[in-house]
Amino acid sequence: MLKRIIPLLLVIFGSTLILSLLLQLLPVGLKDLYIAPGDEASVKEQLKSLGLDGNAFTFYFHWLNDFIRGNFGYIIFPGGGREPVSNRLATALPISIRLVIYVQIVSLLVSVPLGIYTAYRAGRRSDRVISYSLFAAASVPNFVFGLLLAIFIGVKLGWLPPLGYVDPSENFVEHIKTMILPVLSLSIPTIATYSRLLRSDVIATLREDYVTMAASKGLSNRRILFTHVLRPSSTTLFTSAALNMGALIGGTLVIEQIFSIPGLGSEIGIAIFSRQFFALQSYVAIIAVGYVLFNGIIYVLLGFVDPRTRERRNA
Amino acid sequence: MRKLWSTFNLPTKISVAWVSIVMFFVVTGSFLPLPNPTEFDPDASGVGLFSSGHLLGTDINGYDLLSNVVNGARISILIALISVGVGGLIGSAIGIASAYVRGKLDIAVNLLFNILLSIPNLVLGLALVAILATSADPAIPIDPNRRVFIIIFSLTVIIIPILGRIARGATLSWVNREFIVAARSMGMNDRHIIFKHIVPNVLPAIYAVIFLAIGVVIVAEGALSLLGVGIIDGVSWGAMIGRVAGDFTYAPQSMYVPVVVLALTVIAFNQVGDHLRSQLDSREGKI
């Protein structure tokens, strides 16, 4: 277990350090941006509270120390007013996480039957047509679907709101309505990727002897596919669902911009335009840390889905 | 070459044709008899597809969309080719060297790749461009050429770990085969072994992924524009999308023309890459 955790921590440490050092490459000094003019004592006090009183590395450790304690830095207004970044995160992060979860659920719900069906029909006409469409759909970036859906369904047909976000606590039906187009545009490429992976794994599993055995025992095709074949075939699917989280988070940023959803992506956009680099640093660090931890958890969970991977790891 | 063509199925042939058309535009774009992409037509703002003089219509300001798409191919594809070329070269060099040397260097390189891959590539690109393209004075935007350079640099950084990891993995699978051990026992020096025996075997794996990487970069360029940090002045697919992102209800063709062209190009590059990879797999299977 320790052997897994140490590289994980090293990666988190390294990625946050790189982000922190990146801020040193800014064409403007952080001091010039965020230190309000004042007498010597107040300037010194400001430098100290922002961790800018030392070199690049002391700045990083100051940031890291705060980050671990749940203090994600400040948004600093001209004149010296401050708002903790955690305030913004408290509203933005749940929205983005909700979006990603919806996308993963929808994608898995659609891609599992689709992958099994195309594998079962492998080589037939219906499989070829679906498989080629899936390949094309997997290559199309999600913002393309986002923009096209916004134009045609949102604006031209007017069936669904082309932009905006309603919180589920306010109006659940409206919430679902505003989420359909963003979730759909993120899901289409994801569904395509997942079903293609599941298809090739199911085809491989169908060649196993125990499947022939189950068939000769007279089990129904549906029973064989869903109870005997799906589970051993789903390892790659789960691994890539975890890895795909990265692409999905990147996609969420763009989709949030297109549909004006006030999630993390929009906050990052605001941070860039209003030059809030402390906030930007913490936002990106949260994404990186979340992504790494999530992958670590999935890796452990995989051992339960497919015990074969667990044995291989211990060997 | 002829042999390779005979392995293509219909979708791959269509993809190769599309990639060739796009490459033709990249080379000849500015010489074709098309309206100037940066000059607007005051008599035709927001006209639809197949209008006279504007085959793909114009956007809300009267810029000709066909001309913009054709000329935009140059910057979009060049950005992709340069970042994938440079990033691929650096990444493969690091990957091959570390897998060949093994030991501490390899552990360090692997950790570095993992760190870079732990930040989703679009987020890393966004952070890099946002930080590097900040102008000292908020009132004066940075020089457009410098911006293009920063975008290429950031996308190169994204590509390095992706291709580096592929090169490292491929090298690891070759470095212990008998012919390498034999070459070494015959007294061949490391440089010779790497360039004569390892590189030729690793290259096919890299070729296949390069096409996929070009797709990644084209998408990233478009996404950066939507996020507001892409190319602003100038002609590229991303710039076209970014320019009308906030307001496409009046002239929707100004949005879907560049978006569809971008999507088709990415599909085509991916299809070619995927085909090369499957060819490679069957070749590996025979060994």
Question: Does residue B250 belong to any structural domain of this protein?
Answer: yes
Provide DSSP, A137-162: HHHS-HHHHHHHHIIIIIIIS-SS-S
What percent of chain A stands above pLDDT 70? 96
- Determine the average pLDDT of the residues in A4-23: 87
pLDDT tens digits for B1-42?
A: 566 777 778 888 889 999 999 999 888 877 777 777 777 776
Phi, psi of A164 (to 5 degrees): 110, 170
Q: How many domains does chain B have?
A: 1
Q: Which of A3, A11, A96, A291 has the most B C-beta neighbours within 10 Å, making it the best mutation to test the interface with B? A: A11
- Contact at CB, A140 and B274, closer than 8 angstroms: no
User: Whole-angstrom Cα distance, residue A147 to residue A142?
Assistant: 9
C-alpha distances in angstroms, A156 versus A144, A160, A185, B249, B263? 16, 10, 17, 8, 21
Question: Does residue B146 belong to any structural domain of this protein?
Answer: yes
The CATH number of the domain holding residue B145 is 1.10.3720.10
Question: Does residue B237 belong to any structural domain of this protein?
Answer: yes
Distance from CA of A217 to the nearest CA of B (A): 34
User: Whole-angstrom Cα distance, residue B15 to residue B39?
Assistant: 32
User: Whole-angstrom Cα distance, residue B158 to residue B87?
Assistant: 8
- Determine the average pLDDT of the residues in A188-199: 90
Boundaries of every domain in chain A: 2-71, 89-314
The residue that leads in pLDDT, B139 or B125, is B125
Nearest Cα residue to B271 out of B45, B4, B12: B12
What are the chain B neighbours of A128 within 8 Å (beta carbons)? none
CB-based burial, A87-113: b 16+ in 10 Å, e otherwise: ebbeebbebbebbbebbbebbbebbbe
pLDDT tens digits for B208-240?
A: 889 889 999 999 998 998 888 888 766 788 888
Owner of token pair 């990603």: A100
pLDDT tens digits for A52-91?
A: 787 888 888 988 988 888 888 888 887 667 888 888 888 8
| pLDDT range class, residue A110, cuts 50, 70, 90 | very high
Question: Does residue B26 belong to any structural domain of this protein?
Answer: no
| pLDDT range class, residue B246, cuts 50, 70, 90 | low
Say if CB A102 and CB A190 are below 8 A apart.
no
Distance from CA of B164 to the nearest CA of A (A): 17
- Contact at CB, B112 and A14, closer than 8 angstroms: yes
What are the chain B neighbours of A10 within 8 Å (beta carbons)? 111, 115
In this prediction, residue B1 carries a pLDDT of 56
pLDDT tens digits for B55-110?
A: 677 777 777 888 888 888 888 999 999 999 999 999 999 999 999 988 899 999 99
Distance from CA of B169 to the nearest CA of A (A): 18
In this prediction, residue A241 carries a pLDDT of 83
Q: Is the pLDDT of residue A176 over 50?
A: yes
In this prediction, residue B98 carries a pLDDT of 93
Token code pair at residue B200: 């030729």
- Contact at CB, B223 and A143, closer than 8 angstroms: yes
In chain B, whose CA is at the least distance from the CA of A288?
B119
Nearest Cα residue to A138 out of B250, B187, B128, B274: B274
Instruction: Output the average pLDDT for chain A.
Output: 84
- B262 touching A (Cβ < 8 Å): yes
- Contact at CB, B127 and A14, closer than 8 angstroms: no
- Contact at CB, B131 and A253, closer than 8 angstroms: no
Question: For B118, which of A25, A155, A288 is closest by C-beta distance?
Answer: A288
Q: Is the pLDDT of residue A315 over 60?
A: no
- Contact at CB, B111 and A254, closer than 8 angstroms: no
What are the chain B neighbours of A151 within 8 Å (beta carbons)? 248, 252, 255-256
In this prediction, residue A107 carries a pLDDT of 93
What are the chain B neighbours of A253 within 8 Å (beta carbons)? 122-123, 126, 223, 227
Among B residues 184-243, those touching chain A with beta carbons less than 8 Å apart = 215, 219, 222-223, 226-229, 241
Question: For A27, which of B123, B135, B223 is closest by C-beta distance?
Answer: B135
| pLDDT range class, residue A310, cuts 50, 70, 90 | low
What are the chain A neighbours of B134 within 8 Å (beta carbons)? 26-28, 275
| Cβ-based contacts under 8 A for chains A and B | 145
| pLDDT range class, residue A159, cuts 50, 70, 90 | confident
User: Whole-angstrom Cα distance, residue A252 to residue A302?
Assistant: 25
Outline where A219-274 has alpha helix (H). 221-223, 230-233, 235-258, 264-273
User: Whole-angstrom Cα distance, residue A137 to residue B32?
Assistant: 32
Question: For A249, which of B114, B120, B134 is closest by C-beta distance?
Answer: B120
- Contact at CB, A288 and B245, closer than 8 angstroms: no
Q: Of the given ranges (A6-20, A56-70, A151-165), which has the lowest mean pLDDT?
A: A151-165
Q: Is A85 left (phi over 0), alpha (psi -120 to 50) or beta?
A: alpha
The amino acid that residue A52 corresponds to is L
Question: Does residue B20 belong to any structural domain of this protein?
Answer: no
A75 - beta bridge partners? Answer: A83
Q: Into which CATH architecture does domain A89-314 fall? A: Orthogonal Bundle (1.10)
Q: Which of B10, B146, B226, B260 has the most A C-beta neighbours within 10 Å, making it the best mutation to test the interface with A? A: B226
Range of the domain at B271: 65-286
pLDDT tens digits for B152-187?
A: 999 999 999 999 999 999 898 888 888 888 888 888
Q: Is the pLDDT of residue A219 over 50?
A: yes
What are the chain B neighbours of A157 within 8 Å (beta carbons)? none
Distance from CA of B175 to the nearest CA of A (A): 23
Nearest Cα residue to A259 out of A152, A185, A188, A187: A185
Q: Is the pLDDT of residue B287 over 60?
A: no
Distance from CA of B176 to the nearest CA of A (A): 22
Complex prediction ipTM: 0.85
Question: For B122, which of A132, A155, A253 is closest by C-beta distance?
Answer: A253
- B249 touching A (Cβ < 8 Å): yes
Token code pair at residue A41: 């004592």
- Contact at CB, A147 and B262, closer than 8 angstroms: no
